[in-house]
Amino acid sequence: MTASGASWVAGARSADGEGKSEGFGLANLPMGAWSGEGRGARLGVRIGDSILDLHRCVESGVLARLDRRIQDALAKSVLNDYLGLGHAAWAAARAELQRLLGESCGELRDAAIAKDALLPAWGITMRLPCDIGDYTDFYASIHHATNVGSMFRPTNPLMPNWKHLPVGYHGRASTVVASGAAVRRPMGQTVQADDGPPSLTPCRLLDYELELGAIVGGQANEIGQRVGVVEAAQRIFGHVLLNDWSARDLQKWEYQPLGPFTAKNFITSISPWVVMAEALAPYRVPMPARVEGDPQPLEYLRWDGDFLLDVRLEVAISSAPMRERGVPAMVVSRSRGTDLWWSMNQMLAHHTVSGCRMRPGDLLGSGTISGAGEDERGCLLELTWRGTKPITLPDGTERKFLQDGDEVILRGFAVRDGLPKLSFGECRGIVLPVA
């Protein structure tokens, strides 16, 4: 049986699912945490129209062919123990789930537990897939970095270090939330003039950032131990959509000399389904060659087999009046995972070059992913060029930055000719007024 085969589960009988289930076929099988239907927090796998309750599968003995450590980890309420088992365990569990859910296998389909273990995907509550110990966000899209830099440094948009290392900042794990959590407009220090004085006000320039996130797994490296770029590819369990909500006016005042702080720490949203790195392997694209004049990365960041992911990304905005009238959200920009300059593997390798310890459940963000075109800019700061080119929504209102009541929706699909489409689902958040 191949990963692109069909399943007996409703909504996944074709290779990639249909309708609402598009992209949730047998080739995907993303993992996440959920609760509902009278059941407490537990792990599940998305397949077609359904969620497979992994706790029930372990309890019933359906997964008895797997090593006991894997079964115990899959029976937990978050992925952390499973993440810590490493690549071989992930591959074994994925292969067994594909076998059980494939159309030619009746072991689960014909078992009494099947109706109880498969629940409708609609109406349950999705949770954070793992306990996130640390979160680091990078700045790895050259188009985004060049656009933002040119707004403030027109003659020298990229800082001297940008093409030598993956630039990042340490985010706030305690405010990472699952898709659907409300986004409260933050308060903070803002200024009218570049040199102050500041006042405490609600954020006026609230923005989204369209990103990919990577969930780290494997055994934690010891403090002082570096993770090489090749090993890093084995340490990344899977990927999510990530919205690094940003308060641009707070950021402008505070970011020098140590970078983002309260402008970023108030909330970060991620999609609840983790699309496994193994599922995404057929969608890898070799790193683009550096052009003449670009520096070659230092040796610890080099790997001939390094790659980016061909993931198509889009962001849509819906105002409160649009939702009241049933007007669909408006797609405002599209970009791709191949628009990154640095790979996720390089980000992880650089993160540990100093000996920093990375643990199962740590989260890396790519930074805003923007393409070369004006309609491929991954945040409003770029899309409206600091508010000088506002966009018009279907309700006739303009947006320079986000208003209260706006909902931002990120979507992503892995797409390649001859392969099934893999869905990342959605990452949503509605902006609420300042508390």
Only one residue has tokens 């100093």, namely 354
DSSP 3-state of 55 = helix
Is the separation of the CB atoms in 66 and 96 below 8 Å? Answer: yes
143 has catalytic annotation: no
| CB within 8 Å of 303: residues ≥ 6 apart | 229, 230, 233, 345
Catalytic member of 144, 239, 350, 351: 144
d(Cα 260, Cα 410) in Å, to the nearest integer? 23
Which of 208, 204, 205 has the alpha carbon at shortest distance from 144?
A: 208
Dihedral of the alpha carbons of 342, 215, 182, 45, in degrees to the nearest 10: 130
Q: Tell me phi and psi for residue 80, to 5 degrees.
A: -55, -50
Is the alpha carbon torsion for 118, 124, 130, 131 positive or negative?
A: negative
How many other C-beta atoms are found inside a 10 Å radius of the C-beta of residue 159? 13
Q: What is d(CA 218, CA 418) in angstroms, rounded to the nearest whole number?
A: 31
Distance linking the first and last C-alpha atoms of the chain: 54
Note whether 183 and 433 are within 8 A (CB). Answer: no
Instruction: Give the residue numbers annotated as catalytic, written as ranges.
Output: 144
